[in-house]
Every structure is written in C-alpha cells, then in structure tokens.
Amino acid sequence: MTILHIDSSISGENSASRAISRSIVDQLRHWNPASAVVTRDLVSDPLPHLTLDAFADTSVLDEFLQADTVVIGAPMYNFTLPTQLKAWLDRILIAGQTFRYTENGPEGLARGKRVVIALARGGFYDQGSPASALVHLETYLRGIFNFIGIEPEFVAADGLNISPEQRDMSIKQALGETVRLAA
C-alpha cells in the first residue's frame, strides 16, 4: 500500500493538523507495516499558483494517482483552506484523469482511493452554532473529493483558539479518533 501524506499548515511543530495527520499515517503504518509513505509538505516545498504551462507537468497528479491512501493535514484559514493546499488540488482535478463530463453529468474517475483529512479549526462549526454557515473548509473538501469519486473521512480538532484547555482536549480527542479510524 502506498500512503501519500500531505501537510499544509504554516505552524510547523505547533500545528495541530500536522500532529493529527502524522498520527493517522503512524496508525495506518502500524496496521500495514509494509506500506510505503510518500510525503509532500506544501509549506516547505510549495507549489506555485496554477498557470496554463503548469498543466504540462503531471508529477503531482501522478503521485496522487499512484497512492492507495491519501492523508491530508488541512488547517482552516479564513474559513477555507490554505492557498498551498488549493494549489495542490488545482493539480489533481484534471478532466479525463480524475473526472470527466458525460451526457449524465460529471463522473469521478479516482474511485477506490481512501482519503483521510485532519481538520484543525480555531472555532466551532457544528450545525446550529453561530459560525456554522462558515464551515466551508469541510464542505469544500468533501465536495471536491466527491466530485472525483471519493468519499473522504474527517478527523477534526475544533475550538483550538478558544482556550489552551480546549485546545489540549480537542487535539487529544482527535488523536484518539485516529486510532479508531486506522483500526
């Protein structure tokens, strides 16, 4: 099994999404010791904004297509995703490769992959909460992976900027979830 591990937080060692995505990968490797891990850090090794010329280079798409499982660390920035992660998505949503348009509408072509996303958010976005209308990070990522034929799984650490106690509790809970998820 090949695991592609993507991170996009700018916060280095203090990053919750990095800690959770690392734990997911560790848990997956625990259950599949023979798996190979390919790491792509979109902060230390950023992809430039998309250009027409960039479509000629399919290395990022190929890396995605070759992975069986993709683990993504996704912090919420300004209610959506880091632009570093958007630049990566811009390279994997390619007509004819990961989706196509048919007479019956769009069809995802990347079926069969497992995508697990570690969300880290400063606030709370549960249904009914004051900020629930701004839950764009999760809905966007679900929508975009559904579009290419994948139902992503999420592990979320929320309320990270509410208080240090809340942060510790949310991260601990999310790390616990990664054990269940991989098993």
Ligand X SMILES: Cc1cc2nc3c(=O)[nH]c(=O)nc-3n(C[C@H](O)[C@H](O)[C@H](O)COP(=O)(O)O)c2cc1C
> Interface with ligand X by CB under 6 A: which residues?
9, 11, 15-18, 75-79, 120-123, 160-161
Q: Which is nearer to ligand X, 20 or 67 (CB)?
A: 20
Q: How far is the CB of 104 from ligand X (least distance, A)?
A: 37
Determine how many CB atoms are found less than 10 A away from the CB of residue 160. 23
Distance between start and end Cα atoms, the chain: 15
Contact 58, 93 (CB under 8 A): no
In this structure, which amino acid lies at residue 154? Answer: F
Q: Which is nearer to ligand X, 2 or 78 (CB)?
A: 78
Q: Which is nearer to ligand X, 2 or 11 (CB)?
A: 11
Q: Which is nearer to ligand X, 70 or 157 (CB)?
A: 157
Q: How far is the CB of 143 from ligand X (least distance, A)?
A: 18
Q: Which residue has the tokens 């969300």?
A: 119
From CA 85, how far away is CA 131, in angstroms rounded?
Answer: 23
Q: How far is the CB of 65 from ligand X (least distance, A)?
A: 26
CA neighbor of 152 nearest in space, from 139, 134, 170, 135 = 139
Q: How far is the CB of 6 from ligand X (least distance, A)?
A: 13
